[in-house]
């Protein structure tokens, strides 16, 4: 029996940003059977592959963006992002809302969230999953990344009484893409549960992704065992007696390190309330930080030291956090906010736009451990899966980047043009167009 030969497709654009090498004006990406097989100029690839079908896109073609911290299942909690409540009160609202959700509602909310990623050019996500019932929807979507099963609101007794067994059943369940463990925070699970989550992840060679150093109240709780999170634990009936009312004398980063959580197989969400020595510890451990500045602002959590992370060379990714604390799941929106924070903190170097786009591609890939082999993401190079996005930008901006306009001014940084003007008009997942607006 004869099989039809796979159709080669050449996706061309006025500018291609492969990320692992220089931008290519009039570039193209050759896709064969869902994978990128060549990246180069449109002209050279057309000449080398005259049989390829050519698809010309407008604007800038980039690797699919990588969201380093999100909770897709909370997409339908968007009204909470406008509640104006600070974190401890917001958490109460989250708990109350969660109790009203059925399995079908979780699945529907997740499907809408996954769609929101694809509409905005995101093709890989570090997705915190609290309800295992949503895992199948994530797997079916074809979106890459790591689903981190979350342990939250559990003390030692609840964990031993059945929560641990449930957690392991979901983690080891067949047919779903769970590749990570998320011990939520020091104030929502006991030290014993946290340490067990770390051990579970390491035993199974899974990645770790906790929330660390998000609020001042968290720092107070870990340091001295007091404050709103101590009150919350008591109110929720959680036995956190090893920290409650006595504290540990540590910062949240030091505490997580003492639990053995930090390492190159771990990235943390937020990293706001961190000292220079906390940041040095994170770097020493090879632990990346997923920055989510819009969520931080909405929850009145503070501002992460973006300029310091950049100046010190800390590994960073970019996350939207959940729709319950973020105005959108659009990573370019997040980059615009992140750039404003970095500039506001005095980061003046000209590499800012490039480093931020890198954080939303290569940095995310590193944070998720997806930098090697056929599953690597955040780059366009031969061998990777054909996951990419096309962003329209105004013609003048494009001319500035390509140096083809009437002006003899120096070429504009393409990363800045993308952040300033990019609007996702197409997303391709494994060679298939899954979103298109042109």
Interface residues toward Zn ion, by CB under 5 A: 321
User: Shortest gap between Cβ of 325 and Zn ion (angstroms)?
Assistant: 7
Is 130 or 427 the residue whose CB approaches Zn ion more closely?
A: 130
Task: Give 377's contacts (C-beta < 8 A, 6+ positions apart).
Answer: 63, 64, 66, 123, 124, 144, 145, 364, 365, 368, 370, 384, 385, 387
Say how far apart CA 267 and CA 271 lie, in whole Å. Answer: 10
Say how far apart CA 192 and CA 196 lie, in whole Å. Answer: 6
User: Shortest gap between Cβ of 211 and Zn ion (angstroms)?
Assistant: 5
Is 251 or 322 the residue whose CB approaches Zn ion more closely?
A: 322
Per the listing, tokens 């901006």 go with 397
Q: Which residue's CB atom is positioned nearest to Zn ion?
A: 321
User: Shortest gap between Cβ of 437 and Zn ion (angstroms)?
Assistant: 29
Find out whether 359 and 316 touch, Cβ atoms under 8 Å: yes
Is 248 or 322 the residue whose CB approaches Zn ion more closely?
A: 322
Q: Is the dihedral of CA 386, 438, 67, 279 positive or negative?
A: positive
User: Shortest gap between Cβ of 25 and Zn ion (angstroms)?
Assistant: 39
Output the CA angle 180-184-190, nearest 5 degrees.
Answer: 115
User: Shortest gap between Cβ of 98 and Zn ion (angstroms)?
Assistant: 14
Is 268 or 380 the residue whose CB approaches Zn ion more closely?
A: 268
Is 321 or 413 the residue whose CB approaches Zn ion more closely?
A: 321
Per the listing, tokens 């954080």 go with 359
User: Shortest gap between Cβ of 403 and Zn ion (angstroms)?
Assistant: 42
Is 180 or 422 the residue whose CB approaches Zn ion more closely?
A: 180
Is 257 or 321 the residue whose CB approaches Zn ion more closely?
A: 321
User: Shortest gap between Cβ of 142 and Zn ion (angstroms)?
Assistant: 23
Is 207 or 379 the residue whose CB approaches Zn ion more closely?
A: 207
Q: At what angle do helices 395-402 and 414-421 cross, to 10 degrees?
A: 170
Q: Which residues of 119-143 are buried (b: 16+ CB within 10 A; e: fewer)?
A: bbbbbbbbbbbbbbbbbebbeebeb
Which segments within 353-407 are labelled E, that is strand? Answer: 388-392
User: Shortest gap between Cβ of 71 and Zn ion (angstroms)?
Assistant: 6
Give DSSP secondary structure letters for 37-88. Answer: EEEEEHHHHHHH-TTSEEEEPPSEEEEPEEEEEE-GGGGGGGGGGGS---HH
The first and second tokens of residue 418, run together, are: 């993308």
């Amino acid at each position: 029996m004869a099989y039809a030969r796979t159709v080669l497709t050449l996706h061309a654009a006025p500018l291609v940003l492969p990320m692992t090498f220089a931008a290519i004006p009039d570039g193209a990406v050759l896709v064969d059977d869902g994978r990128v097989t060549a990246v180069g100029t449109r002209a050279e690839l057309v000449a080398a592959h005259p049989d390829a079908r050519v698809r010309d896109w407008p604007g800038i073609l980039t690797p699919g963006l990588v969201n380093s911290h999100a909770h897709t299942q909370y997409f339908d909690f968007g009204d909470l992002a406008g509640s104006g409540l600070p974190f401890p009160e917001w958490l109460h609202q989250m708990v109350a809302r969660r109790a009203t959700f059925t399995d079908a509602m979780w699945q529907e909310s997740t499907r809408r969230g996954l769609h929101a990623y694809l509409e905005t050019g995101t093709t890989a996500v570090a997705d915190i999953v609290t309800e295992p019932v949503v895992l199948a929807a994530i797997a079916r979507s074809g979106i890459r990344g790591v689903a981190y099963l979350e342990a939250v609101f559990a003390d030692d007794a609840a964990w031993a009484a059945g929560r641990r067994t449930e957690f392991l059943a979901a983690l080891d369940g067949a047919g779903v893409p769970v590749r990570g463990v998320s011990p939520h925070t020091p104030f929502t699970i006991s030290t014993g549960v946290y340490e067990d989550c770390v051990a579970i992840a390491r035993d199974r060679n899974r990645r770790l992704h906790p929330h660390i150093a998000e609020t001042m109240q968290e720092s107070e709780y870990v340091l001295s065992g007091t404050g709103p999170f101590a009150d919350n634990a008591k109110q929720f009936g959680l036995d956190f007696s090893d920290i409650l009312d006595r504290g540990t004398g540590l910062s949240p980063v030091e505490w997580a390190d003492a639990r053995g959580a930090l390492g190159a197989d771990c990235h943390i969400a937020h990293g706001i309330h961190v000292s220079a020595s906390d940041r040095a510890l994170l770097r020493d451990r090879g632990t990346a930080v997923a920055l989510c500045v819009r969520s931080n602002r909405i929850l009145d959590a503070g501002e992460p030291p973006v300029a310091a992370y950049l100046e010190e060379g800390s590994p960073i990714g970019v996350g939207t956090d959940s729709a319950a604390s973020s105005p959108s799941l659009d990573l370019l929106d997040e980059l615009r906010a992140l750039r404003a924070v970095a500039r506001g903190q005095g980061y003046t170097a000209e590499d800012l736009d490039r480093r931020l786009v890198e954080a939303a591609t290569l940095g995310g890939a590193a944070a998720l451990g997806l930098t090697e082999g056929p599953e690597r993401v955040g780059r366009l190079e031969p061998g990777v899966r054909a996951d990419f996005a096309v962003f329209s930008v105004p013609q003048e901006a494009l001319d500035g980047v390509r140096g083809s306009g009437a002006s003899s001014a120096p070429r504009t940084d393409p990363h800045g043009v993308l952040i300033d003007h990019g609007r996702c008009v197409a997303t391709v997942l494994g060679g298939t167009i899954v979103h298109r607006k042109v």
